[in-house]
Amino acid sequence: MAETNGDSKGSLKSLIKNKVLDVAVFISLLALFAYFWQACIMRRAMRVDQRAWVSIPFPVNFPLNGTSIPANTQIKNSGKTPAKNAKGDVIATIFSQLDKPTIGDFSVGHPHEQLETPGVIFPDAPVPVSIYVGTYHATGKEVTTVDEALRQDIYIGKRFILFYGRINYSDVYDIQHWTQFCTGSGSGIPSDLLKECLRYNDVDTNEE
């Protein structure tokens, strides 16, 4: 009888020991998972904090006092690390009240010009960009010649200028990013088109 009680106590101790061991292993696995999860979150946060942020500041103005209309701007990186392979599609042109611009459509049948910067764009080292307002054709671009009729049409709202585009680039982690921009000049921009232009201004939120 004593031996039976001893065997029972031994089995109970062994069972408790195994349960304690299982709990310890489970807690260790949870701790390991929490460690890797925290490391992943910190890695993502670091990438967001350190990534490149490319933007195209709006031109200060679209001067009409010359023979052509420059849209002077720059490709700017306001992030903490360099941006690479920045290139995109841009349009700077004149529309009339009867036109139906398709902002952001750079597909076949919608002529535009391409923008590309060699090498990298370092933080706080903007790359100047000089684009002239013009008319886009399948064979190229014709720079708009400014005359008194054009000045008058823009002044009274019969015609207006739109400048928009999309730039794609990658950061030092080889993650792809993009930024879109749109602005205009002239009182003749229809309100619906102006709202569409403002909505087009956007950036990506890519983390991987």
- In this predicted model, what pLDDT tens digit does every residue of 35-53 receive, in sequence order? 444 534 444 544 556 799 9
- What was the pLDDT predicted at 43? 47
- The stretches of 160-202 forming alpha helices (DSSP H) are 191-200
pTM over 0.75: yes
What is the C-alpha to C-alpha distance for residues 133 and 184, in angstroms, rounded to an integer? 11
Could you say which DSSP state residue 99 is in?
-
Residue 208 lies in a domain: no
Mean pLDDT over 157-177 rounds to 95
pLDDT value of residue 191: 93
Burial of 72 (0-12, 13-18, 19+ CB in 10 A): middle
Q: Do both 73 and 154 map to the same domain? A: yes
Do 194 and 95 share a domain, yes or no? yes
Do residues 70 and 157 share a domain? yes
Q: What is the mean pLDDT of the chain?
A: 85
Same domain membership, residue 116 and residue 21: no
Domain count, the chain: 2
d(C-alpha 121, C-alpha 83), whole Å: 5
- In angstroms, the CA 57 to CA 59 distance is 6
Q: Are residues 172 and 186 in the same domain?
A: yes
* Domain extent for 34: 1-50
Residue type, 126: P
Flag whether 150 is in a domain: yes
Q: Both 74 and 7 in a single domain?
A: no
**Hey, how many other C-beta atoms are within 10 angstroms of the C-beta on 185?**
21
Say if residue 38 is in the same domain as residue 125: no
